Structure 1
Amino acid sequence: MVLKSLSDEDRANARAKALRSRTRRAEIKEAFRTGNISIGDVMELGASDEAVGRLRVADLLESVPGVGQVRAAALMERLGISANRRVRGLGRKQQAALIEHFAD
């Protein structure tokens, strides 16, 4: 596969876009961790916001205090969510299961 060579300006624009996306995902994880937004809000944002839609579900779960890689993986396995699934890639049943889990 041959990659298209980018001009310096295109490369700078791509870096800036990537930085905005990473910052947005970090903001969402922090807001979820502190309880400012619910998991349902994150699912709604994921449908319309590209950066949030590309957030890995495992990273989102690991942002919760007391949930590390092992607990996040166990929860995802119990709910039938693939380890590399992203927010936008969740099905309706998977979204409902996550919302129900965090409603408790």
Structure 2
Amino acid sequence: MALRELSKEERDIARQKALAARIERAELKEAFGAGKISFDDVLAKAETSEAVARLKTVELLEALPGVGKVTAARTLEDLGISENRRIGGLGVKQRTALARHLAQLA
């Protein structure tokens, strides 16, 4: 099934929406990494913001100081969370396990 071709106005609107989502995710990761907001705050924001809900969990962990790609991937593997899982797609047990792990880091 082919997608219909978007008009210039529709492309501009989609481009603006995508840019706003990227900016929102970047600001959230920066605030989380700086300790200005907690993991619970991120989860609460994911309930109301599609952009935050679509943020990959591994990217959020990588925003923490001293946590790189390998550490973030290992952490998620140890917790039984897929590296491709997004914040909005975390289950209750996964949220709890990740919150416990992050509390130990603090």
Give yes or no for TM over 0.5. yes
CA shift for structure 1 position 78 = 0.7
1:27-65 CA-to-partner distances (Å, cap 9, x unmatched) read: 000000000000111011112110000000000000111
Gaps of 5+ in 1: none
Q: Which amino acid aligns with 1:25?
A: R
Alignment of 1:21 onto 2:21: yes
Residue 60 of structure 2 corresponds to 60
In 1, the alpha carbon distance for the partners of 2:39 and 2:6 equals 38
Residue 76 of structure 1 corresponds to 76
Residue 48 of structure 1 corresponds to 48
In 2, the alpha carbon distance for the partners of 1:22 and 1:56 equals 12
Residue 2 of structure 1 corresponds to 2
In 2, the alpha carbon distance for the partners of 1:101 and 1:83 equals 16
Gaps of 5+ in 2: none
In 1, the alpha carbon distance for the partners of 2:5 and 2:103 equals 48
Q: Percent identity?
A: 54
Output the aligned Cα RMSD: 0.7
Question: Residue 78 of structure 1 aligns to a residue in which SS?
Answer: helix
Number of residue-to-residue matches in the alignment: 104
